[in-house]
Amino acid sequence: MTDSPRSPSSSGGADNDSENRRPAHDEPHTAGVSSRLNWLRAGVLGANDGIVSVAGLVVGVAALSPDRGPILTAGVAGLVAGAVSMALGEYVSVSTQRDTERALLEKERRELEQTPGAELDELTSMYQARGLSEETAHKVAEELTAHDAFAAHVDIELGIDPDELTNPISAALSSAISFTVGALLPLIAILAPPTGARIPVTFVAVLLALALTGAVSARLGGANPRRAVVRVVLGGALAMIITYAVGQLLGVAGV
């Protein structure tokens, strides 16, 4: 590894940023809490996707046509297509990850059966690498091995909790549901108001909703909420402006 260009001495007075990145004391310590947080974060991101993509669709169609029919059709089609595509993507990625984790767990189980001595040494050296003396590390490794060798190895070597493997079907369902919840917002915002107010109402409703999802996901991830909100709101506004412009252009072109 090469030297970091931002060594401590060269960073001068700019300590504010590293202050923000220091791990918070209230960070989750158990696998249960962190996996629940991951679920929540995935749900918020799914809702975010639903809001932005369907908002872009319906604003684009509304820019071209004042009729409710085409707007409703485009919005519902976008909602269904997006939910299905999110579910499929999630299913495939979680299944692959679970296969990988299962293979690693199986390999560890085999190694523990076939070469218990080498595995004890390995555990010892891992605790030494974490700062324990050889004597203490050996004692810790022996006690953990006597208690539950498999759990000890899986925890320190792989960082996997065998009881917490994500279920691909529930991951797929929850991302489809969160996308749908998000997608309903621009759909309602564009269909409920009278024709002239449709696009402005949708714009405002979508940007407010994105500010909320941005703040929530930043909070869940322990990041700076203001920066997250600015990013997601600008991104959403850009998406709607682009599709609005595309709708206008297609209208001018007489499509």
Residues that bind Zn ion in the complex, under the rule CB under 5 A = 119, 153
Task: Identify which of residues 92 and 151 has a Cβ nearer to Zn ion in the complex.
Answer: 151
CA distances from 28 to 61, 171, 197 (A): 44, 21, 45
Q: What CA–CA distances, in Å, run from 227 to 42, 47, 211, 217, 218?
A: 19, 19, 10, 12, 9
CB 111 to Zn ion: min, Å: 6
Nearer to Zn ion, 49 or 119 (CB): 119
Sequence-distant (≥ 6) Cβ neighbours of residue 106 within 8 angstroms: none
Q: Quick one: 134 exposed, middle or buried, by C-beta within 10 A (0-12, 13-18, 19+)?
A: exposed
Nearer to Zn ion, 69 or 159 (CB): 159
Shortest distance in whole angstroms from residue 151 CB to Zn ion: 11
Q: Is the CB of 153 or the CB of 198 nearer to Zn ion?
A: 153
Considering the complex, what minimum distance in angstroms separates the CB of residue 106 from Zn ion? 12
- Distance (Å, whole) CA 76 – CA 254: 24
Cα angle vertex 93, ends 89, 95, to 5°?
115
- Closest-by-Cβ residue to Zn ion is 153
Q: Which residue's CB is nearer to Zn ion, number 145 or number 175?
A: 145
One-letter amino acid at 213 equals: T
Between the alpha carbon of residue 8 and those of residues 14, 24, 243, the distances in Å are 10, 21, 46
Q: Residue 19 and residue 169: Cα distance in Å, rounded?
A: 40
d(CA 145, CA 127): 13
CB of 102 to Zn ion, least distance (A): 16
Q: How far is the CB of 107 from Zn ion (least distance, A)?
A: 9
Residue 22 beta carbon to Zn ion: minimum distance, rounded to whole angstroms: 32
* Shortest reach from residue 159's CB to Zn ion, in Å: 12
